[in-house]
């Protein structure tokens, strides 16, 4: 690539060498320091590239070797200028286009936010806008990215990390959401350990505080498991209440269940071959539809969207993109599925749902899957899983 | 390094003996050649200080050539020495 660029700067011609002995012509050229590249045999002739400055020297060799040289193409900056110097309007338009591209490259034309699952993407976009990241914003007036990150994290604590990558005229924002976790209470603050769910106590290990339940007790959400309030006898026989930071582990048998409806069929969508394509052009953040309204001609169709962004080397995204939306007509057909298979499919989804409600290091001990038909083609699947998990969580004692 | 090894390593430098580097069957780089004797799409014969080197194949192309080295691409079938 770089070689081609320098060749273009220096200027070269593509020549055809024909005659009795073109090999001899090439050998003499090489010995005289005339550079040749991409030597190609085409029929009885040879095609090669030679710098314009070497062409005069090659003419001497041509006379000596009695070959014929025919110039096929001229390439290079000088040739380009020579060809277009009389076309003033073209030059002006080219200069204006170059200036427009340069000017557009100094702005943000697309903001792409990635990594958002549960957070409010509209709120993030609004915070980005408040910090200068929006379509049409000037890149030169941007705050340092570290400051943008700190400002947004301070305003939106649900996200744990964020960074803005500038890719040409595109601002790519990578977001990492904060995962829910138990609030850690400082060890000097008195607290109880309370239940974070329902279960039956299996084992209680108390390191500090007073046990409030025993093995075999059933507990529900918010019950005190280890109390941070200790009754102590005073020196003169008086009762005194001490507040400590309760410490310990409480493992309990817990049960979690979830249910969902699952179809008793697989839908096979076979394309009929009919496709409608809708093209949208995006120029510096503004979208232009190259069609008049989307016709809903098909009873059933799938949508396939492809986006082609124009990016240039050493420049990045230019702010120009084409989005092609294909409406592919399909013929849906239903293949029946057994109740067992449908239940097994639902189980995977239900397991994922239950996993979100578990405490860390929960160990599964049992599992039950039940299902019943609610209509001809739907079953309701209920998954119940038993665990042993640490259900204790710290809660500050309020005076 | 032994004296014999040193001699062997420097032979191609001191005596302009051709050194040939083959990349799979699609590329060939020859140093210390003395010129092109024949060039067709199926055969390239180069002159060297120790005789001729013939490269046979299909769609042979000279990508780059300088006074002492040459890079040939195409489908290389056979390399033959005639000393």
What would the pLDDT profile of B9-36 be if each residue is shown by its tens digit? 555 555 678 889 999 989 999 998 989 9
| Confidence check: pLDDT of A106 > 90 | no
Q: pLDDT for A311-361, tens place per residue? A: 776 667 777 889 998 889 999 898 888 999 999 889 888 988 888 788 877
User: What are the structural domain ranges in chain A?
Assistant: 2-81, 110-177, 191-252, 258-264+337-389, 268-333
Higher-confidence residue of A179 and B42: namely B42
Do the chains contact at A35 and B66, CB–CB below 8 Å? yes
Q: Which of A16-20, A71-75, A77-81 has the lowest mean pLDDT?
A: A77-81
* Confidence at residue A361, expressed as pLDDT on a 0 to 100 scale: 78
| Confidence check: pLDDT of A240 > 80 | no
Chain B neighbors of A21, CB-CB under 8 A: none
* Confidence at residue A397, expressed as pLDDT on a 0 to 100 scale: 84
Residue A41 distance to chain B (closest CA, Å): 6
* Confidence at residue A253, expressed as pLDDT on a 0 to 100 scale: 94
Dihedral (C-alpha) A215, A217, A218, A223: value to the nearest 10 degrees? -90
Q: Which domains does chain B have, with CATH numbers?
A: 3-82 (2.60.40.2000)
Residue B2 distance to chain A (closest CA, Å): 37
Mean pLDDT of A260-281: 90
* Confidence at residue A355, expressed as pLDDT on a 0 to 100 scale: 83
Q: pLDDT for A129-183, tens place per residue? A: 999 999 888 888 888 888 898 888 888 888 878 888 888 888 899 888 866 555 6
* Confidence at residue A260, expressed as pLDDT on a 0 to 100 scale: 92
User: Which residue, among B41, B67, B68, B71, would best test binding to A if mutated, counting the most A CBs under 10 Å from its CB?
Assistant: B67
Percent of the residues in chain B that have a pLDDT greater than 70, as a whole number: 82
Mean pLDDT of A274-297: 82
Residue B62 to residue A315: CA distance in whole angstroms: 34
CB contact, 8 Å: A398 with chain B?
no
User: Which residue, among A31, A40, A48, would best test binding to B if mutated, counting the most B CBs under 10 Å from its CB?
Assistant: A40
Chain A neighbors of B40, CB-CB under 8 A: 41
Report yes or no: A282 and A325 within 8 Å, Cβ to Cβ.
no
Chain B neighbors of A41, CB-CB under 8 A: 39-41, 60-61
Residue B68 to residue A331: CA distance in whole angstroms: 67
Its CATH class, for the domain covering A2-81, is alpha beta
The mean of the pLDDT values for chain B is: 84
* Confidence at residue A48, expressed as pLDDT on a 0 to 100 scale: 92
DSSP-assigned letter for residue A183: P
pLDDT band at A14 (very low <50, low <70, confident <90, very high): very high
Q: pLDDT for A29-73, tens place per residue? A: 998 988 888 899 888 889 999 988 888 888 889 988 989 999 998
Higher-confidence residue of A239 and A66: namely A66
| Confidence check: pLDDT of A17 > 70 | yes
* Confidence at residue A384, expressed as pLDDT on a 0 to 100 scale: 93
Give the tokens for residue B25: 């069957």
Q: Which of A232-241, A365-374, A384-393, B2-11 has the lowest mean pLDDT?
A: B2-11
CB contact, 8 Å: A331 with chain B?
no
* Confidence at residue A125, expressed as pLDDT on a 0 to 100 scale: 92
| Confidence check: pLDDT of A1 > 90 | no
* Confidence at residue A217, expressed as pLDDT on a 0 to 100 scale: 92
- Pairing mode, if any, of strands A110-114 and A170-177? parallel
Dihedral (C-alpha) A255, A260, A266, A269: value to the nearest 10 degrees? -130
| Confidence check: pLDDT of A278 > 60 | yes
Q: Which residue has the tokens 């009885």?
A: A44
Residue A275 distance to chain B (closest CA, Å): 42
Its CATH class, for the domain covering A110-177, is alpha beta
Do the chains contact at A23 and B61, CB–CB below 8 Å? no
Report the chain A residue with the minimal C-alpha distance to residue B58. A41
Phi, psi torsion values for B68, nearest 5 degrees = -120, -5
The mean of the pLDDT values for chain A is: 86
| Confidence check: pLDDT of A292 > 60 | yes
* Confidence at residue A183, expressed as pLDDT on a 0 to 100 scale: 63
> What percent helix, strand, coil does chain A show, rounded to 5?
25, 50, 25
Q: Which residue has the tokens 């040409």?
A: A168
Query: Quick one: which of A270, A151, A250 has its CA closest to A201?
Result: A250
CB contact, 8 Å: A38 with chain B?
yes
CB contact, 8 Å: B35 with chain A?
yes
Residue B11 distance to chain A (closest CA, Å): 23
* Confidence at residue B4, expressed as pLDDT on a 0 to 100 scale: 59
């Amino acid at each position: 690539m770089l070689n081609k660029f320098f060749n273009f700067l220096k200027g070269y011609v593509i020549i055809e060498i024909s005659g009795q002995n073109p090999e001899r012509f090439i050998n003499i050229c090489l010995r005289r320091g005339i550079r040749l590249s991409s030597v190609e045999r085409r029929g009885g002739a040879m095609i090669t590239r030679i710098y314009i400055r070497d062409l005069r020297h090659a003419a001497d060799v041509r006379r000596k070797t009695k070959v014929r040289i025919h110039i096929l193409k001229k390439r290079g900056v000088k040739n380009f200028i020579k060809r277009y110097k009389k076309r003033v309007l073209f030059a002006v338009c080219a200069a204006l286009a170059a200036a427009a591209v340069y000017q557009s490259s100094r702005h943000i034309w697309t903001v792409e936010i990635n990594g958002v699952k549960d957070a409010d993407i509209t709120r993030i976009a609004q915070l980005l806008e408040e910090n200068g990241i929006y379509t049409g914003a000037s890149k030169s007036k941007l705050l340092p990215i570290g400051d943008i990150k700190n400002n947004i994290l301070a305003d939106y604590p649900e996200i744990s990390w964020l960074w803005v990558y500038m890719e040409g005229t595109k601002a790519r924002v990578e977001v990492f959401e904060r995962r829910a976790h138990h609030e850690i209470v400082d060890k000097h603050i008195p607290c109880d350990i309370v239940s974070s769910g329902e279960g039956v106590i299996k084992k209680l290990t108390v390191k500090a505080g007073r046990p409030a339940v025993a093995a075999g007790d059933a507990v529900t959400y918010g019950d005190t498991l280890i109390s941070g309030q200790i009754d102590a006898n005073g020196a003169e026989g008086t009762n005194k209440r001490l507040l400590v930071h309760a410490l310990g582990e409480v493992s309990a048998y817990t049960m979690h269940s979830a249910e969902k409806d699952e179809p008793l069929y697989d839908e096979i969508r076979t394309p009929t071959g009919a496709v409608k394509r809708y093209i949208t052009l995006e120029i510096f953040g503004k979208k232009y539809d190259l069609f008049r309204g989307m016709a809903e001609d098909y009873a059933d169709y799938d949508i396939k969207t492809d986006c082609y962004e124009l990016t240039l080397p050493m420049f990045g995204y230019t702010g120009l993109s084409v989005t092609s939306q294909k409406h592919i007509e399909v013929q849906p057909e239903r293949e029946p599925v057994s109740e067992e298979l449908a239940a097994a499919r639902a189980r995977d989804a239900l397991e994922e749902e239950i996993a979100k409600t578990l405490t860390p290091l929960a160990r599964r001990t049992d599992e039950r899957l039940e299902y019943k038909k609610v209509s001809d083609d739907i079953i309701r699947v209920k998954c119940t899983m038993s665990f042993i998990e640490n259900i204790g969580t710290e809660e500050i004692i309020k005076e | 390094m032994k004296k014999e090894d040193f001699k062997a390593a420097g032979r191609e430098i001191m005596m302009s003996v051709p050194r040939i580097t083959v990349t799979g069957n699609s590329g060939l780089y020859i140093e210390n050649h003395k010129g092109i004797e024949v060039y067709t799409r199926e055969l390239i014969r180069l002159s060297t200080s120790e005789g001729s080197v013939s490269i046979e194949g299909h769609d042979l192309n000279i990508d780059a050539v300088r006074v002492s080295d040459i890079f040939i691409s195409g489908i290389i079938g056979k390399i033959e020495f005639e000393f």
